[in-house]
Copies of this chain bind each other. A is one copy, B any other.
Amino acid sequence: MSAPTAITLDLERRARLGIEEAVLCQGKTPGQVADILLRADEAGRSLLLTRLGEGQREALPAALAARIDYEALSRTGFYGTVTAPAGAARVAIVSAGTSDQPVSREAARTLAYHGHAAAEIGDVGVAGLWRLMARIDEIRAFPIVIVAAGMDAALPSVVGGLVPGLVIAVPTSTGYGIADGGTTAMRAMLASCAPGVTVVNIDNGYGAACAALRALPLLAPEG
Give A residues with C-beta under 8 Å from B: 1-2, 4-8, 10, 12-13, 16-19, 22, 24, 26-28, 32, 36, 51, 85, 89, 95-99, 101, 104-105, 108-109, 111-112, 117-131, 143, 151-154, 157-158, 160-168, 171, 173-204, 206-207, 209-215, 217-221
Contact of A196 among B7, B19, B95, B176 (CB under 8 A): B19
- Structural contact, B143 and A218, CB atoms closer than 8 A: yes
- Residues in B neighbouring A96, C-beta threshold 8 A: 193
How many copies of the chain does the oligomer comprise?
8
- Structural contact, A161 and B201, CB atoms closer than 8 A: no
- Residues in B neighbouring A189, C-beta threshold 8 A: 152
- Structural contact, B5 and A123, CB atoms closer than 8 A: yes
Output the least CB separation between A94 and chain B (Å): 10
Given contacts A127-B161, A194-B127, A214-B164, contact A89 B154 (CB under 8 A): no
List 17 A-B residue pairs with CB atoms under 8 Å apart, sorted by A's residue number: A1-B109, A2-B89, A2-B120, A5-B101, A8-B131, A19-B195, A154-B154, A154-B193, A175-B191, A177-B202, A179-B191, A187-B188, A196-B212, A196-B214, A198-B199, A198-B200, A218-B218
- Structural contact, A152 and B214, CB atoms closer than 8 A: no
Question: Which residue of chain B lies nearest to A198 when distances are taken between CB atoms in the complex?
Answer: B198
Best-buried of A108, A119, A177 by chain B (most CB within 10 Å): A177
- Residues in B neighbouring A211, C-beta threshold 8 A: 166-167, 196-198
Give 9 closest A-B pairs by Cβ, nearest first: A196-B210, A177-B202, A5-B122, A198-B198, A154-B154, A10-B128, A8-B123, A195-B210, A127-B161
